[in-house]
Amino acid sequence: MARDRLIAGGAIWTLDPTVGVAEAIALRDGKVVTVGTNAEVRAALHADYEYIDLAGRSVVPGICDAHIHLLWSALLADQIDLQEVASFDHALEIIRQHAERLPADAWVLGSGWDHSLWQRDWPTASELDQVTGGRPAFITRKDLHSAWVNNAALNCANISKFSSDPDGGSIGRDATGEPNGMLFENGQLAVKACIPEPSAAQKETSIQAFIKRMHQRGITSIHVPEGPDCFAAVQTLYGRGALEMRILHHLRMDLLEHAVAMGLKSGLGDAWLRFGNLKIFSDGSLGSATAHMLEPFDNLPANAPHPYGIPMHDREDLFATIDRALANDISVIMHAIGDAANRTVLDAIEAALKANPESLQPSLGKGALAARVPNRIEHAQLLHPADIRRFGQLGVIASMQPIHATSDISVADRFWGQRAQSAYAWRSLQASGAILAFGSDAPVESWDPWAGIHAAVTRQRPDGSPDGGWYPEQRLSLEEALWAYTVGPAITSGEQAIKGSLGVGKLADLVILEEDLAQVAPQQLAKVQVAQTIIEGQTVWEG
Amino acid sequence: MARDRLIAGGAIWTLDPTVGVAEAIALRDGKVVTVGTNAEVRAALHADYEYIDLAGRSVVPGICDAHIHLLWSALLADQIDLQEVASFDHALEIIRQHAERLPADAWVLGSGWDHSLWQRDWPTASELDQVTGGRPAFITRKDLHSAWVNNAALNCANISKFSSDPDGGSIGRDATGEPNGMLFENGQLAVKACIPEPSAAQKETSIQAFIKRMHQRGITSIHVPEGPDCFAAVQTLYGRGALEMRILHHLRMDLLEHAVAMGLKSGLGDAWLRFGNLKIFSDGSLGSATAHMLEPFDNLPANAPHPYGIPMHDREDLFATIDRALANDISVIMHAIGDAANRTVLDAIEAALKANPESLQPSLGKGALAARVPNRIEHAQLLHPADIRRFGQLGVIASMQPIHATSDISVADRFWGQRAQSAYAWRSLQASGAILAFGSDAPVESWDPWAGIHAAVTRQRPDGSPDGGWYPEQRLSLEEALWAYTVGPAITSGEQAIKGSLGVGKLADLVILEEDLAQVAPQQLAKVQVAQTIIEGQTVWEG
């Protein structure tokens, strides 16, 4: 067995209410064996242990991102990111270095460039050819409305001077009519169709690498709403002993009947990998004005086609699907942005719980790993004030992404007006008895949990605007925000008995920060540095 | 936390080759914390512990039945068993007592009666009415070719004096032509169709009760080849904290594509409940002469329709299904009785392993719970001598049921003749490097593991015949037989790192026997008594 580890010399934020901030913590066999004062902890140690001196730094429980698109994020992370690259030569150099690491027949993929920063006209296929070593390349502009491709990519798609522009798109051309490497709108589709789906092995490799990145910011657990290829990949990694992240993996809606046919229920798995909930979209998004609203969006044009947004399902269908899931002990994870979407989903869960009273009694199984996984609503961005208390009453988790609030300030003010008072209503939800579970929704937003913690504590953008925070009465304290990234998600995966806080007997998943967290100004929270990430007592990353 | 437990004062058969038979064992937090000499173990204990004095009795690891039809056995165990009941009045009294415990609208179900023991004519519906309290009753004769029913059951099926006999069956009648309560052959079907399928809750209750029975014989783990209703039921029990048996649950063949669509792979789960292998029947049975043979059965009538038995699938289909499963990381559990069936299955697994080289490398995951679950053949009753070594070579588990050998002696001698030299070839398999995993196939045979251990060690029927044992060169020692009920099944579920033997750090699943096992004569092994069954350090049954 590995030696015991003693960590002391700084503040240990246990998030265990019976302990609070401790002086020392000891780890044994992957669990917290004692936590408390220096004297208490040393008394419980074996003679031979490893001492980690915090020297004034601090410790928090391992962080959980309760909503991250793992495979999508991982594949994107493997691509070139040209956001804010200010010179064309630098962009080419980034592309060259990336391409050199790829197999000879791989596609060079990327996004994020903005030629207005480069003070030049559109980039060209022949310029891209010079740095891609014969590989086809497809690199989207930051707005996704155009793409820069090379000649190998044009050849793959059989795009030549004789090609006509597709409907809704165009092919950039030089003075002679030859394609020049720019594709606009639907002009991109022919090349996109040539890009091969990554193999299962590539997906596994990408996920494994992305997990290592997450360790660098203190993430030890994630909840993943993705498809069967992602679920298969993480099982393969686990089967090889190469899964270094605790995962609750959800089920795509169209797969419900497969799970029912097999008799598979939410919660099967262990502390590394569990089968979670049925993912159902109930409405669209705020930015697209497709969130489902009780009253029309503000400031829409007079001829807006759907002033109340777009519910994704007939009410009856939605009720029936949720009932079908709960009747088969498959919990739901509901995407709901608008106040009408949230109300409808709460109504449907309430009805399904009444029709399936067994579902009302989630209970802890042996070792707490078989607990019924709770139902949850994702985003829950705009709530009618009357619906806030229903989360706690119905045992529905409010799974939210603080960074959405600060990214959305302008559009929320514009589309929701005064209603935004109960948007991203963390404080009101918490006060009403709801469990908060925080995450990122990456790659839609940054997956960095410290960016989320900054947003939760300040309700300010990274640049500090607006002064005093946006609807600051909904801000959380730092400890509350951390709770929603640790204890809250553990409750949400039905694992509060084994993780979330740093109580005795719980899994030794924890993060050593470079700072004394109590001394970090709220405005600096996004910049907190991680010194070491520990999962099950073992260091998985050290800075 | 629970107190430590020290067990000493008798022989502790650890089945851990580095320890052998120990003097003492200590349990802490559900695991073996030390095992060895009295001095070694006491040195490792906390001051406050519970002492269990064996007083000359012995301990073995928790027993696993690697092949038991859990739900089928559990539902049958809830029914009346009239086997060897020698008087009609006694039979009526058993039925009365059983019926009284049932809800008023439940069916009274049973089997096993033999009126030749009762020295009377067929029993009647009105006699049965007197003890069933208005409930419908359906009780099959021991040969299943006839059933005794009461008037409530006849009414359910609308069987009256005006009913005509169905094809292939008849309705027993009294002198006036009224149905008298006996139904022969297909005459049973109309009543059978009235018997309601047990509800999910009934299945859960039956399984829970049957698990308690299994504890009484020292069983702590089982491998279950059953359908989705059983899988759902055990997940529900686990979710309620009411699962007191470690289960590897297999997948019915027709459900393969559901698992593939979801990306579900063998091994998901934890130490209580894991998702196992795809169950495929490759042939029939010995008794029905439908096992698939390389050479014709001996002693068949000249006009026998299928002298080589019956393969259940075209060779190509079987190869394709096994390949499909292994390509998706779903291991297989193959029913194969005849030597041709076993050879075909070994050929198919060999081909699929070659086509899916990843499958060649089962590896242990974190905590060993994510190990690839090995492929396995069930029964493996008759093997061509050239195929024996292929089990070990291909990593295919030989999952066998010792009681089948002794139950089948006559029919194997008759149908297989000299070929029976390599039937139930435990010793030869073991010597060739195969992993043996033993079980019962209950309710086809008794689920009592001690009956199986008796058969494995003696190759004699319960009555001691034949003298010296049947092909006694294939007998196992008592320790080898125990290994195949403990370590072998743990390897078979991919969990050898956490259970099977009583090594340090393994799960504290163990059985205290009433006897000093070393002193039990082989002929008495079926009668070994269990004093206490302990799972994860907790006593689940005490005699």
CA distance, residue A265 to nearest chain B CA (Å):
7
Q: Which of B192, B223, B239 is the last residue of a domain?
A: B192
Determine whether the interchain pair B268/A536 forms a contact, defined as Cβ–Cβ distance below 8 Å: no
* Cis peptide, bond prior to residue B443, ω within 30 of zero: yes
- For residues A522 and A431, membership in a common domain is answered with no
| H or E element that contains B35 | strand B31-36
- For residues A383 and A393, membership in a common domain is answered with yes
- Helix, strand or coil, per DSSP, at residue B463: coil
What pLDDT, in 10s, does the model give residues B407-446? 999 999 999 999 999 999 999 999 999 999 999 999 989 9
Q: Which of A255, A270, A362 sits opposite B269 (nearest CB)?
A: A270
Q: Does B276 touch chain A (CB under 8 A)?
A: no
Task: Share the mean pLDDT of chain A.
Answer: 94
What pLDDT, in 10s, does the model give residues B158-175? 999 999 999 988 999 999
Q: Does B243 touch chain A (CB under 8 A)?
A: yes
Distances (CA, A) of B103 to A111, A152, B98, B132, B366: 68, 76, 11, 11, 47
Residues 6+ apart with CB under 8 A from A57: A9, A10, A512, A513, A514, A515, A516, A531
In a domain, A225, yes or no: yes
Quote the CA–CA distance of A93 and A88 in Å, as a whole number. 9
Residues 6+ apart with CB under 8 A from B343: B294, B384, B387
Provide the residue count of chain A.
543
Structure tokens at A413: 């003010």
Quote the CA–CA distance of A262 and B259 in Å, as a whole number. 8
Is the pLDDT higher at A429 or at B497?
A429
Quote the CA–CA distance of B370 and B368 in Å, as a whole number. 6
Instruction: Look up the CATH number of the domain holding residue B54.
Output: 2.30.40.10
In a domain, A92, yes or no: no
Q: Which of B229, B265, B271 sits opposite A235 (nearest CB)?
A: B265
Q: Does B54 touch chain A (CB under 8 A)?
A: no
Q: Does B230 touch chain A (CB under 8 A)?
A: yes
B402-411 mean pLDDT: 96
In a domain, A75, yes or no: no
What pLDDT, in 10s, does the model give residues A24-74? 999 999 999 999 999 999 988 888 899 999 999 999 999 999 999 999 999
Q: Does A47 touch chain B (CB under 8 A)?
A: no
B304-312 mean pLDDT: 92
Residue B393, pLDDT score: 92
Residue A363, pLDDT score: 43
Can you say how many angstroms the Cα of residue B539 is from the centroid of all Cα atoms in its chain? 23
Query: DSSP of A103-168, one letter per residue?
Result: -TT--EEEEEE-HHHHTSS---HHHHHHHHTT--EEEEETTSSEEEE-HHHHHHTT--TTPPPPTT
- The structural domain count of chain B equals 3
- Taking 60 as the threshold, does the pLDDT of residue B8 lie above it? yes
Give the relative orientation of helices A70-77 and A228-239 as an angle to the nearest 10 degrees.
80
- For residues B161 and B33, membership in a common domain is answered with no
What pLDDT, in 10s, does the model give residues A471-520? 999 999 999 999 999 999 999 999 999 999 999 999 999 999 999 999 99
In a domain, A78, yes or no: no
| H or E element that contains A260 | helix A256-262
Give chain B's end-to-end CA distance (angstroms, integer): 25
Give the mutation candidate from A28, A230, A235, A538 for the B interface (greatest B CB count, under 10 A): A235
Q: Which of A168, A192, A216 is the last residue of a domain?
A: A192
Residue A369, pLDDT score: 40
- Residue B240: list chain A partners with CB under 8 A: 363, 365
- Taking 70 as the threshold, does the pLDDT of residue B369 lie above it? no
DSSP bridge pairs for B221: B64, B246
Give the mutation candidate from B249, B256, B258 for the A interface (greatest A CB count, under 10 A): B258
Q: Which of A1, A251, A365 sits opposite B239 (nearest CB)?
A: A365
Search chain A and give the residue with CA nearest B227. Answer: A262
- For residues B385 and B523, membership in a common domain is answered with no
A168-192 mean pLDDT: 94
CB B265 within 8 A of CB B238: no
Determine whether the interchain pair A329/B243 forms a contact, defined as Cβ–Cβ distance below 8 Å: no
- For residues B360 and B247, membership in a common domain is answered with yes
- For residues A206 and A180, membership in a common domain is answered with no
Task: Name the residue among A245, A494, A369, A16 with its Cα closest to residue A25.
Answer: A16
Dump strand ranges (E) for A16-107.
21-28, 31-36, 49-53, 58-61, 63-65, 80-81
**Block residue for tokens 């149908």:** B415
Band (pLDDT 50/70/90 cuts) for residue B534 is very high
Determine whether the interchain pair A255/B268 forms a contact, defined as Cβ–Cβ distance below 8 Å: no
B531-535 mean pLDDT: 98
What pLDDT, in 10s, does the model give residues B336-351? 999 999 999 999 999 9
CB A330 within 8 A of CB A256: yes
- Helix, strand or coil, per DSSP, at residue B446: coil
Residues 6+ apart with CB under 8 A from B395: B360, B362, B374, B375
Provide the residue count of chain B.
543
Structure tokens at B186: 């297909």
Query: DSSP of A265-334, one letter per residue?
Result: -TT-B-SSEEEEEEEEE-S--TTTT-S--SSPPTT--TT-S-TT---SS-HHHHHHHHHHHHHTT--EEE
- Taking 80 as the threshold, does the pLDDT of residue A392 lie above it? yes
Task: Name the residue among B294, B325, B333 with its Cα closest to residue B311.
Answer: B294
- Residue B229: list chain A partners with CB under 8 A: 263
CB pairs under 8 A between A and B: 147
Quote the CA–CA distance of A424 and A413 in Å, as a whole number. 12
Instruction: Say which DSSP state B418 is in.
Output: G
In a domain, A129, yes or no: yes
Q: Residue A29: is it exposed, middle or buried by C-beta count within 10 angstroms (0-12/13-18/19+)?
A: middle
- Helix, strand or coil, per DSSP, at residue B536: coil
Residue B371, pLDDT score: 56
- Residue A228: list chain B partners with CB under 8 A: 261-263
**ipTM of the complex in this document:** 0.91
- For residues A113 and A226, membership in a common domain is answered with no
Q: Residue A35: is it exposed, middle or buried by C-beta count within 10 angstroms (0-12/13-18/19+)?
A: buried
Instruction: Look up the CATH number of the domain holding residue B460.
Output: 3.20.20.140
B248-255 mean pLDDT: 98
Q: Residue B519: is it exposed, middle or buried by C-beta count within 10 angstroms (0-12/13-18/19+)?
A: exposed
B251-276 mean pLDDT: 96
A264-269 mean pLDDT: 94
Residue B1, pLDDT score: 56
- Taking 70 as the threshold, does the pLDDT of residue A370 lie above it? no
Query: DSSP of B42-102, one letter per residue?
Result: HHTS-SSEEEEE-TT-EEEEPEEESS--HHHHHHHHTSEE-TT---HHHHHHHHHHHHHTS
Q: What is the largest CA-CA distance in chain A?
A: 83
- For residues A46 and A15, membership in a common domain is answered with yes
Residues 6+ apart with CB under 8 A from B78: B109, B206, B209
Search chain B and give the residue with CA nearest A366. Answer: B241
- For residues B458 and B394, membership in a common domain is answered with yes
Burial A99-123 (b: 16+ CB within 10 A, else e): beeeeeeebbbbbbbebebbeeeeb
- Taking 50 as the threshold, does the pLDDT of residue A367 lie above it? no
Residue B366, pLDDT score: 39
**Block residue for tokens 């000879």:** A104
Query: DSSP of B289-348, one letter per residue?
Result: T-S--SSPPTT--TT-S-TT---SS-HHHHHHHHHHHHHTT--EEEEE-SHHHHHHHHHH
A414-425 mean pLDDT: 97
What pLDDT, in 10s, does the model give residues B211-245? 999 999 999 999 999 999 999 999 999 988 899 99
Query: B367: domain range?
Result: 200-499
Query: What is the bridge-based pairing of β-strands B58-61 and A510-513?
Result: unpaired
Task: Name the residue among B109, B101, B98 with its Cα closest to residue B136.
Answer: B109
Instruction: Look up the CATH number of the domain holding residue A182.
Output: 3.10.310.70
Task: Share the mean pLDDT of chain B.
Answer: 94
Q: Give the sign of the dihedral formed by CA A306, CA A308, CA A310, CA A314.
A: negative
Give the mutation candidate from A231, A256, A359, A366 for the B interface (greatest B CB count, under 10 A): A366
Task: Name the residue among A340, A344, A347 with its Cα closest to residue A309.
Answer: A340
Q: Which of B241, B275, B328 sits opposite A268 (nearest CB)?
A: B275
Quote the CA–CA distance of A342 and B229 in Å, as a whole number. 34
Q: Does A205 touch chain B (CB under 8 A)?
A: no
Q: Which of B262, B271, B371 sits opposite A259 (nearest CB)?
A: B262
Determine whether the interchain pair B228/A262 forms a contact, defined as Cβ–Cβ distance below 8 Å: yes
- Taking 80 as the threshold, does the pLDDT of residue B363 lie above it? no
Task: Name the residue among A511, A276, A293 with its Cα closest to residue A416.
Answer: A293
In a domain, A76, yes or no: no
- Taking 50 as the threshold, does the pLDDT of residue A365 lie above it? no
- Taking 50 as the threshold, does the pLDDT of residue A360 lie above it? no
- For residues A505 and A457, membership in a common domain is answered with no
Search chain A and give the residue with CA nearest B261. Answer: A228
Quote the CA–CA distance of B471 and B468 in Å, as a whole number. 9
CA distance, residue B370 to nearest chain A CA (Å):
5
Instruction: Count the Cβ atoms, other than its own, within 10 Å of residue A189.
Output: 15
Band (pLDDT 50/70/90 cuts) for residue B372 is confident
- Share of residues in chain B with pLDDT > 70 (%): 97
In a domain, A85, yes or no: no
Q: Does B365 touch chain A (CB under 8 A)?
A: yes
- For residues B350 and B427, membership in a common domain is answered with yes
Angle made by CA atoms B32, B35, B40, in degrees to the nearest 5: 130
Q: Which of B192, B216, B248 is the last residue of a domain?
A: B192
Quote the CA–CA distance of A247 and A70 in Å, as a whole number. 10
Is the pLDDT higher at A215 or at A288?
A215
Q: Does A235 touch chain B (CB under 8 A)?
A: yes
Task: Name the residue among A517, A534, A454 with its Cα closest to residue A13.
Answer: A517
Q: Does B370 touch chain A (CB under 8 A)?
A: yes
A72-83 mean pLDDT: 94
Residue A51, pLDDT score: 96
- Taking 70 as the threshold, does the pLDDT of residue B526 lie above it? yes
- For residues B268 and B394, membership in a common domain is answered with yes
- Residue B497: list chain A partners with CB under 8 A: none
Q: Does B538 touch chain A (CB under 8 A)?
A: no
Determine whether the interchain pair A239/B265 forms a contact, defined as Cβ–Cβ distance below 8 Å: yes
Search chain A and give the residue with CA nearest B536. Answer: A366
Q: Residue B332: is it exposed, middle or buried by C-beta count within 10 angstroms (0-12/13-18/19+)?
A: buried
